[in-house]
Amino acid sequence: MDGCFDLMHYGHANALRQAKLLGDLLVVGVVSDEEIVANKGPPVFSMEERLTLVSGLKWVDEVIPNAPYEITEEFMNTLFNKYNIDYIIHGDDPCLLPDGTDAYALAKKVGRYKQIKRTEGVSSTDIVGRILLTFKQKEAGSMETTTDANVAVNQNAGAHTCDQVKSQLSNFLPTSRRIMQFSNGQAPSPGARVVYIDGAFDLFHAGHVEILRSARQLGDFLLVGVHDDQAIRDRRGYRPIMHLHERTLSVLACRYVDEVIIGAPWEVSRDMITTFNISLVVHGTVTEGTSAGGIDPYAVPKSMNIFQTITSPKTTTSVSVATRIMDNHEAYKKRNLKKKASEDRYYTQKKFVSGD
């Protein structure tokens, strides 16, 4: 399976999960920056970041960097002969080249194509739209919130603004089955060293993958606390771009994560440490938000001498990701208008497709 995997989200992860179910090994092609620019517009994440995100997914066995956007005969033969690929996979939504032709026409022609169900409720285009709507540039290098796109529309706003906000609300419908599909479903073994790390994990990026990898290396079982939307808003001043269940799935999809506490408490208590048999609580050097009232959320594990600060491998934050988009506002706005039209057509014409 191939893709751009820009602004990696749980929809990408679910596509790769479904693809892995069709075989024994999943090889993923990551489209080059140049091809994304030519076919869709500027990518938000670099090739290196996108490779880190894709490689960090629990269902991916191998990654091919700089894959072409179009499955040409030459590349298709390389897949079949060099990588021993049996089938090429894509979702049930159309993938068209700039000239309007099907990017997977050749694979279909030779009978080596299989289709999976698109994950409803999210797309990279949708996320860019949420960011553009939620933030505006106040001054160079700083962001301020303009509206809480996931909560309400300003009562004084006009009809056009209301429609615009409603169009960017999350359409994701969380189910227990989806969480089960993403979960490892395993408890720590007796005597296992359980490591705990918490955070917002908004706009899941390469920095998140790297810090989770670092945390996992410190023990046998990695437990991740994902804070709820309100807790994040209280400390950052605005709600996360992705809501709690969306962020939970992104974290669960990471190969270094064993279990997630959904809506984890901001303060790590002694009771929580005992309940989950936590051996070590860690936190990175790159953080977002502040502690309410100056309260140290890690006071208890520090008093128990089980707290450790680990160096964040990357300086990326959700705000820095949003800033990349805001700094290139017009290009992303243009890209989104183009993509939104095709997505609107998909949702208008869509029919039930079996699968999950």
State both tokens at 20.
């892995």
The CA-based diameter of the chain, rounded to the nearest angstrom, is 65
- Residue 74 CB neighbour total at 10 angstroms: 8
Element (H, E) at 281: strand 278-284
User: What pLDDT shows up at residue 153?
Assistant: 31
User: What pLDDT shows up at residue 167?
Assistant: 42
pLDDT truncated to tens, each residue of the chain (356 aa)? 999 999 999 999 999 999 999 999 999 999 999 999 888 888 999 999 999 999 999 999 999 999 998 888 999 999 999 999 999 999 887 777 777 788 888 999 999 999 998 887 788 888 888 888 877 633 334 444 443 444 333 333 343 444 444 444 566 778 899 999 999 989 999 999 999 999 999 999 999 999 999 999 999 999 999 999 999 998 888 889 999 999 999 999 999 999 999 999 999 999 999 999 999 999 999 987 665 567 899 999 999 999 999 999 999 999 999 999 888 877 766 655 655 555 555 556 666 555 66
At residue 129's C-alpha, the angle toward residues 123 and 133, to 5°, is: 150
User: What pLDDT shows up at residue 192?
Assistant: 97
User: What pLDDT shows up at residue 256?
Assistant: 98
CATH of domain 176-318: 3.40.50.620
User: What pLDDT shows up at residue 239?
Assistant: 86
Kindly give, in sequence order, each residue whose CB lies less than 8 Å from that of residue 11, ignoring residues fewer than 6 positions away.
118, 119, 121, 122, 123
* Cα 340 to Cα 332: distance, rounded to the nearest angstrom: 12
State both tokens at 70.
């179009």
List, in sequence order, the alpha helices (H) in the chain.
Answer: 10-21, 33-39, 47-55, 73-81, 105-109, 124-134, 159-167, 176-182, 206-216, 229-236, 244-252, 270-275, 299-303, 318-327, 329-349
Residue ranges matching CATH 3.40.50.620 in the chain:
2-119, 176-318
Angle formed by the axes of helices 124-134 and 329-349, nearest 10°: 130
* Cα 331 to Cα 72: distance, rounded to the nearest angstrom: 28
State both tokens at 86.
């049996």
User: What pLDDT shows up at residue 181?
Assistant: 95
- In CATH terms, the superfamily for domain 2-119 is HUPs (3.40.50.620)
Confirm if 170 and 213 have CB atoms less than 8 A apart. Answer: no
